[in-house]
Amino acid sequence: MKASKWMTPDPKSVEANDPVKTAVMLVVENRIRHLPVVMGESLVGIISDRDLKRAMPSIVAGATAEEYQAFMEKTTVQQIMTADPLACAPDDDLVDLVREFCDKKVGAIPIVEGERLVGIVTQTDMMEAFLTMLENQ
């Protein structure tokens, strides 16, 4: 079975130079946990909801509303993303993707053709694949 069968094609993504606010809005509005980061069509990074939460100043810890807003608008995604993320190709075998999830302990793997982002496979996608296989036994 190939990665292309389980990937989300044309996933939501964010540009490396976009402000963090853009990434936060995409994550919240689309109820997703991982955003591939691109420059044009090329994958350059990935950012998770946890990365965003860790990087944000905390109003509870004493950051002012102005500091929080400045961070959201002036900090770029590139400043907090994971650069050069693990990526796979659409024709890669699902067994290899599962092995990468387990070995690297990642929550999502962008799918690329060359350097161009074409999809994403998440842990949830892997659970759906597993469930399908169990139901078909």
pLDDT digits (tens, 9 = 90+) for 21-78: 999 999 999 999 999 999 998 999 999 999 999 998 877 778 888 888 899 999 999 9
Kindly report, residue by residue over 90-126, the tens digit of the pLDDT: 999 999 999 999 999 999 999 999 999 999 999 999 9
Note the pLDDT of residue 121: 97
Note the pLDDT of residue 63: 81
Which class for 62: exposed (0-12), middle (13-18), buried (19 or more C-beta within 10 A)?
exposed
Note the pLDDT of residue 21: 96
> For the chain, which residues make up each domain, given as ranges?
3-135
**CATH of region 3-135:** 3.10.580.10
Note the pLDDT of residue 60: 72
Note the pLDDT of residue 48: 96
Kindly report, residue by residue over 4-14, the tens digit of the pLDDT: 999 999 999 99
Q: Quick check: 17 pLDDT over 90? A: yes
Note the pLDDT of residue 108: 97
* Cα–Cα–Cα angle for 46, 51, 55, rounded to 5 degrees: 130
DSSP secondary structure string for all residues of 18-75 = SBHHHHHHHHHHHT-SEEEEEETTEEEEEEEHHHHHHHSPPTTTT--HHHHHHHHHHS
**What distance in Å separates the CA atoms of residue 133 and residue 103, rounded to the nearest whole number?**
22
Note the pLDDT of residue 73: 94
Half-sphere exposure of residue 8: CA atoms within 13 angstroms, side-chain side: 18
Note the pLDDT of residue 119: 97
